[in-house]
Amino acid sequence: MSDVFRVTAADGAARAGVLRTAHGEVRTPVFMPVGTKGTVKAVDPEELRALGAQIVLGNAYHLHFRPGEDMIAELGGLHAFTGWDGPILTDSGGFQVFSLRDTLLELDDGGVTFRSVYDGSPERFTPELAARIQERLGSDIAMCLDICLPAGGPRSELEEAVRRTSLWAERQRDLPRAPGQLRFAITQGGLDGGLRRHSAEALVALDFDGYAVGGLSVGEERTPMLDAVEAAAPLLPADRPRYFMGIGDPEGVIEVIARGIDMFDCVLPTRTARTGSALTWEGRLNLRNARFAGEARPLDDACGCPACTRFTRAYLRHLVNQQEILGLRLLSLHNLRFMCDLVAAARQAIERGDFRRWREDALARLRTER
Ligand SMILES: [Zn+2]
């Protein structure tokens, strides 16, 4: 048994659990708001806490270039620097390096060379550097540097990505860590069942604190993606947390929880907010729509967020249309609260042994797009 993670209830493949980190416990399943550059855009850490957020993401790639991990370490680490004293997971930068395909210069067994998105200068990331950046940042969970390819590439490329990701994970496993820092490996293999199995077996043999299912949600269709998650999750140890990287729409989150995923992150709730849309139980509401102009009721009667308890749809629409900062902030708070509440409800349903029925009801309600 792992003393890092404990499954407290299971219903079908779905599980509820508790993850222990150096900055507190996280109850899973958990949605992790993304604070790429050391901030969840437009949201104060105290507000995040009040919304029910338990753990936030930071990104090694962006923080390495601006302001730099040594600067952050001198200022007391990422928790002190950002004012968030709860658990932090840092991504290794693999996704950023490989999703910005036109900045890639060279990939070999040693690492990857690319042009920085900040000033175009050639930079090199290695497993050793990714581990060092995260050690300096002092995050609670550090991710291994991996090779994440877009969907639809040739199998040979995918096979090579799996091989290198395992090779890199092996080199990262025993590198220095921040006090109490956990390290998660990232499985790859795209939609290829054989490669996924191969990747999982190689990484599980190295015995990490947790495992991510990476290289999905990168442009493939939803159904084969969910089939791949369903096949990938049982390949990972039952007593370790499973993290699906990059899913944050309400339906998708429910579907990956149903397949045994414990943790997930996505910029969608905050990015959607900044385009003027609200996630609700009536589906996604685009507040630019004229029908909201005179609506005196809140976004969602049942929501306890600042936007819903204090303001009308008509006012939020006005703010969005006038591109007022307050409008984008209020929608960000609401969308994050919606995701935290949704996942808490899923957790409670798992604990009650009622997840199957809850999931059907929830999906039916969410599919009403207006
Ligand atoms: Zn709300």
Cα 364 to Cα 367: distance, rounded to the nearest angstrom: 5
Cα 18 to Cα 39: distance, rounded to the nearest angstrom: 25
At 45 the pLDDT is: 98
Of 244, 248, 299, 300, whose CA–CA distance to 272 is shortest?
A: 248
What are φ and ψ of residue 350, in 5° steps?
-65, -45
Interior/surface letters 139-168, b for 16+ CB within 10 angstroms, e for the rest: bbbbbbbbbbbebeeeeeebbebbbbbbeb
At 100 the pLDDT is: 82
Active site residues: 91, 265
How far does residue 54's CA lie from ligand 1's centre (Å)? 18
Ligand 1 ion local residues (Cβ < 5 A): 303, 305, 307-308, 334
> Secondary structure of the chain in the HEC alphabet?
CCCCEEEEEEECCEEEEEEEECCEEEEECEEECECCCCCCCCCCHHHHHHHCCCCEEEEHHHHHHCCCHHHHHHCCCHHHHHCCCCCEEEECCHHHHHHCHHHEEEECCCCEEEECCCCCCEEEECHHHHHHHHHHHCCCEEECCCCCCCCCCCHHHHHHHHHHHHHHHHHHCCCCCCCCCEEEEEECCCCCHHHHHHHHHHHHHCCCCEEEECCCCCCCCHHHHHHHHHHHHHHCCCCCCEEECCCCCHHHHHHHHHCCCCEEECCHHHHHHHCCEEEECCEEEECCCHHHCCCCCCCCCCCCCHHHHHCCHHHHHHHHHCCCHHHHHHHHHHHHHHHHHHHHHHHHHHHHCCHHHHHHHHHHHHCCCC
Cα 277 to Cα 320: distance, rounded to the nearest angstrom: 9
Burial class of residue 241 in the structure, from the number of CB atoms within 10 Å of its CB (0-12 exposed, 13-18 middle, 19+ buried): buried
Q: What is the pTM of this model?
A: 0.97
How far does residue 335's CA lie from ligand 1's centre (Å)? 7
How far does residue 191's CA lie from ligand 1's centre (Å)? 36
How far does residue 66's CA lie from ligand 1's centre (Å)? 33
Six-digit token string for 306: 């600042």
Question: pLDDT tens track of the chain, all 370 residues?
Answer: 578 999 999 999 999 999 999 999 999 999 999 999 999 999 999 999 999 999 999 999 999 999 999 999 999 999 999 999 999 999 999 999 998 888 999 999 999 999 999 999 999 999 999 999 999 999 999 999 999 998 888 999 999 999 999 999 999 999 999 999 999 999 999 999 999 999 999 999 999 999 999 999 988 999 999 999 999 999 999 999 999 999 999 999 999 999 999 999 999 999 999 999 999 998 899 999 999 999 999 999 999 999 999 999 999 999 999 999 999 999 999 999 999 999 999 999 999 999 999 999 999 999 875 5
At 47 the pLDDT is: 97
How far does residue 97's CA lie from ligand 1's centre (Å)? 35
How far does residue 58's CA lie from ligand 1's centre (Å)? 25
Helices 155-172 and 193-205, packing angle to 10 deg? 10
At 129 the pLDDT is: 98
- Distances from the Cα of 82 to the Cα of 37, 137, 333, angstroms: 10, 11, 18
At 102 the pLDDT is: 87
Cα 158 to Cα 123: distance, rounded to the nearest angstrom: 23
At 2 the pLDDT is: 73
How far does residue 302's CA lie from ligand 1's centre (Å)? 8
